[in-house]
Amino acid sequence: MSRTPNDDRSDSLNPNSDAHSASQDNRSDQLNPNNERYQGSDKSDEEDKSD
């Protein structure tokens, strides 16, 4: 039996699953402004570029 996208979603939402921990770690990394790949907007950087 093959796994469906709903199975993956269920795994990532189950707090007892390893996939849940990995999902939370990934989300934290993406939202961390100290991460070099962070894509958030920073108003001061935008103002510096327009000068």
Structural domain contains residue 50: no
Contact between 49 and 41 (Cβ < 8 Å): no
Contact between 51 and 45 (Cβ < 8 Å): no
Q: Which domain holds residue 32?
A: 5-39
Q: Which pLDDT belongs to residue 47?
A: 54
Structural domain contains residue 15: yes
- Whole-model pTM: value is 0.50
- CA distance linking residue 18 with residue 26, whole number of Å: 12
Structural domain contains residue 49: no
Structural domain contains residue 20: yes
Instruction: Tally the domains of the chain.
Output: 1
Q: Which pLDDT belongs to residue 42?
A: 60
pLDDT in tens, 8-42: 788 888 888 888 888 888 888 888 878 777 666 66
- One-letter amino acid for residue 50 of the chain: S
